[in-house]
Chains A and B, each alone.
Chain A
Amino acid sequence: MSRVARFRLPLLAVGAVLVIAGTFSPWATRAFGFPGKMTLSGFPGGARIYALVLLPVVVLGVVDAGGRRRAGLFGAIGVFAVGAFNVIAIANDGGGVDAVAFGAWITAVGGALLVLAFVSLPPDRPVPSEWRTLPAPAELAIIAAFLGLLLFGVDNALSVNESSRFISFLLFAGFGIAAVGGLGLFGWLQELFARHRQVALVAGLVTAAAFPFTQNGNAYWIRVFASIGVFATAAIGLNVVVGLAGLLDLGYIAFFGVGAYVGGLLGNAGLSTMHVHVPFVLVIFVGASISALFGVIIGTPTLRLRGDYLAIVTLGFGEIFRITANNWDGLTRGPNGISGIPGLAVGSFKFAQSHEVFGITLPYFANYYFIELLLLVVAIIGFTRLNSSRIGRAWVAIREDEVAAAAMGVDTIRLKLLAFAIGAFLAGAAGTVNAHLATQVSPDSYTFLESILLLAAVVLGGMGTVPGALLGSAALFVIPEKLRSFQDYRLLLFGAALIVMMRFRPEGIVPSQRRRREFREEGAIGASGAAPGGPVATGGAT
């Protein structure tokens, strides 16, 4: 240990030089269609740029090695991972190890040396955010810049087409973000967004609305993002149930299905068993309400159960829904489902057509994207406002200690039912939109696996937060789309990611303030009363 510590600076220097040299050298000995012109020397093309860009973060770790182990270590791991992954990928695609040129090897070795240099550092002491409060205009500008950067980054990431390069990008982005997080940047950003919540929400909405305009009329990703929006809405609903009230629901997708079937049946679908056409605005509401009603019906007998028992019962309910939908030919058309759901139309505005706005063609999926965005905003506002009200506090209290909550006058059964109903309401609303987006509804879309994926999105993203649900859903839908050649391993990779996540960041990607403290302050018994400012002065309310 100490021997490594003595060699830290030389290790860093040699590692950095190797990485720079490596990224400017060829990574492949012959051209065989590996993305990024890897045979050329003298410029860091392809995945090489990722390793190079991470280097400054590592250097930041050197500048202030005292409290920056995380930044340096994650940056170094990222460099190593990009290098090592490309060695493997090039060898694999190029038909042998001889396809790998020295640049890739050097980069991987350099990365490994950097990792070695940081591993021996003691863990960072939790440093409270040193980032200061700036004048309001500057803070708003930073919010705008961040959102712009996000849009730019997303657009860029989506334009990376090759699986191997996309993995390099993921390694780069994942470790890069973790490293930058080590500098305390994200905590600060979160505070910034919290301080300017109204503005941030509107700015976020504008950014999201701008997305279809970056796609040059290409429908593919707009469609995927509309789906993400649908699932994110459902995930926010599930977040009420699981994240706030702490009720483990393993059959949640059924509520989504109820909404979808209502959307199909009332949407004048070609194969609907009911030949009615209800205006869509009403359909959303009816679908959500029927779904909420189901929530109450299922919840009334089951919510007296706790923990594991509730999970099993909800799992059973989810299966009952699917099997019923699969067999009730008279209403749901059984396994064929309901297809031919027509495009929406409001007056002369046809949703199933592409439109031209500001000279940019918006494919017709953009229309649904905007509808979904609107629904998502409603869900977000509802969630955050409920969360910070007496109802949200009562939910969290139930999650924390149901007996004590009841003893403090909280009507636990009523509030648990309410959580169930609101979760089901949002899932139902999302379901009706999805029915129109997919133009069909069939029982095999509402399997146990879907429930689990939604739950995983919530847990992965961070329980009890909106950005968590958004990020979780996005990760679960974009990454599989990008890694189509790994389709068969999707669940395997996903499982591995979950394990890694639970081990190293159990509070999720974007934890709620409460949850972060829950996991990070374990056992930190504070000297009570003797903390006038509070070591973690989060509340700026007073």
Chain B
Amino acid sequence: MTENATPVLEASKVTKRFGGLTAVDKVDFFVNDREIVGLIGPNGAGKTTFFDCLTGMQEPTEGEISYRGKRVHGRPNVVTAAGMARTFQNIRLFPNMTALENVLVGRHCRTKSGVLAAIGRGPRFRREERESEERARELLQFVGLPRVADELAKNLAYGDQRRLEIARALATDPGLLLLDEPTAGMNPHETTAAMELVRQIRATGLAIVVIEHDMKFIFNLCDRVAVLVQGTKLIEGTPAEVQQDSRVIEAYLGAPA
């Protein structure tokens, strides 16, 4: 358990400004091994922008981000290769690829065959392709989509698309999974299933950060919750602490009746 010494993710003083607007303001954030951390806040609080900064989709104006003690910066594919994978608030699958192909794309950064190998089709290439496919099918099974491997992603039901996005992210062999509103648009039944899935993912050894508006989901699932309001971190603590904090209730949940 020496790994617990360094957090999986450590972000210090992350700031993102768009012109005069400060979307994210000096946010410190960390995630420990096998921890599920919730990130909540009212609409426009800068949660997704913060996510984008963490995953390289936007460059933070200031601040540093490190993954397992090593500084990560640069383009999103570099961050993903380092071990942080994400899903999107509004699903961004590859709509005209099959479910299996979607997951296989996730394997891209963990496989190596180049152009010549692909044209030559040597034994190493074929082994790599076979292993990729096995892993992809395994992941589809894991997220509960074993039967739709050959369906186009766009033809899947909404909840299944969310699951597929998670499978695709898991295919990159991440150490940290960042979920941006994984239950948006889901019915209570699907939400419960999603919660179960997140727990199972953690059980395989991953740390998870999740943005969510569904408070029941957050407070039941997370070990720790951070609240962003207007780009700054208001408070951070256990679900119980956050739930009882008057500032949170005021800023986010509304004044008690």
Contact = CB atoms under 8 A, between A and B. Distances in A.
Interface in B169-185: 169, 171-172
Contacts of B149: 539
A390 interface: yes
A347 interface: no
Given A529-B147, A539-B150, A514 B96 contact: yes
B215 interface: no
Given A403-B57, A525-B157, A528-B148, A390 B111 contact: yes
Contact of A390 (B75, B129, B150): B129
Interface string A396-428: 110011011111111111000010001000000
B151 A528 contact: yes
Q: Is the interface of A mostly helix, strand, loop or mixed?
A: helix
Interface in B134-191: 145, 147-152, 155-157, 160, 168-169, 171-172
A137 interface: no
A406 B118 contact: no
A1 interface: no
A63 interface: no
Contact of A534 (B94, B101, B106, B150): B150
A360 to B, nearest CB: 35
Contact of B172 (A386, A390, A403, A409): A409
Contact of A385 (B76, B121, B156, B160): B121
A528 B157 contact: yes
| Most chain A CB neighbours (cut-off 10 Å) among B101, B109, B115 | B115
A401 to B, nearest CB: 5
Interface string B83-117: 00110100011111100010011111111011101
B129 A407 contact: no
B105 A397 contact: yes
Contacts of A400: 94-97
Contacts of B93: 401, 404
A410 B109 contact: yes
A351 to B, nearest CB: 28
Interface string A519-542: 001001111110110100111000
B77 A385 contact: no
- Of A385, A391, A413, A528, chain B has the most CB atoms within 10 Å of the CB of A528
A411 B119 CA distance: 20
A56 interface: no
Interface residues of B, number: 51
Contacts of A108: none
A124 interface: no
Nearest to A522: B154
A537 B148 CA distance: 11
B193 interface: no
B113 A389 contact: yes
B49 interface: no
Contacts of B232: none
A350 interface: no
A407 B55 contact: yes
A444 interface: no
B86 to A, nearest CB: 6
Nearest to B169: A408
Contacts of A529: 145, 147-148, 157, 160
A393 interface: yes
In this complex, the member of A386, A400, A409, A514 whose beta carbon has the largest number of chain B beta carbons within 10 angstroms is: A409
A98 interface: no
7 contacts: A390-B113, A397-B94, A404-B92, A406-B75, A407-B77, A526-B151, A528-B148
The 9 closest A-B pairs by CB, nearest first: A409-B109, A389-B118, A400-B94, A409-B80, A404-B92, A528-B157, A518-B96, A406-B76, A397-B105
